[in-house]
Copies of this chain bind each other. A is one copy, B any other.
Amino acid sequence: MEQHYQSLRKHIEEICELTDAEWNVVAPFFTHRTLKKHQFLIQKEQLVPCEYWIIKGLTKAYAIDSNGKEHILQFAMEQYWTSDFNAFQNKIPATIFIDCIEDSEFFCLKLEDREHLCHEIPKMTNFFRIKSHHGYIALQQRILSLLTETAEERYNNLIKKMPKLVQRVPKKLLAAYLGVTRETLSRF
């Protein structure tokens, strides 16, 4: 477990350095959780107590449309943050599902704890701001790719940008992420 905490510290320190004393304040705010493949981290309509940092494993965040089709908003693996951030931040019920594609382990951070943490270690506010910012940039890139590229180009770019993810995820899920059917994807 200690190594998991070290790994989280390293992740945070990619953005802001922490003294040992500061880290000793930060670490206890995170609690550990384990889920097996196919188990839900977040279910639609339910409150979202935490945001989650992935120690190990792989999750998908998705919505189900009126025809029952699944549309994937985000894949998250080791070192990624995931949650229904809107529901989390505003204490409202989730509008999406998040479940595990593989057995997974998480560090969980509650909203109140995040606020205490940012209050005690102001640097962490900056950490979360920058993380949120990175997320924004990534989504902007994805919108551009949906607007400008064909499905095949999007698939090839995904393979280039996230080859490890592509290997770990069934193609039908990649299709649901790229906005094509699995049949079309299999013809590329």
Contacts and interface: CB of A to CB of B under 8 A. Distances in A.
A133 B179 contact: no
Contacts of A16: none
A85 interface: yes
A27 interface: no
Interface residues of A, number: 27
A40 interface: no
A148 interface: yes
A60 interface: no
A137 B65 contact: no
List the number of copies, as a whole number. Answer: 2
Interface string A116-138: 00000010011011001101110
Interface stretch (A42-50, A139-147, A162-170): A139-147
A89 interface: yes
Contacts of A140: 73, 86, 139
A4 B136 CA distance: 28
Contacts of A111: none
Contacts of A73: 140, 143-144
A118 to B, nearest CB: 8
A74 B187 CA distance: 33
| 6 residue pairs, one from A and one from B, having the closest CB atoms | A139-B139, A71-B147, A129-B129, A65-B148, A86-B137, A146-B146
Given A65-B148, A125-B126, A139-B139, 15 more contacts: A63-B148, A71-B144, A73-B140, A85-B136, A86-B140, A89-B133, A122-B122, A129-B132, A132-B132, A132-B136, A135-B136, A136-B136, A143-B146, A146-B147, A146-B179
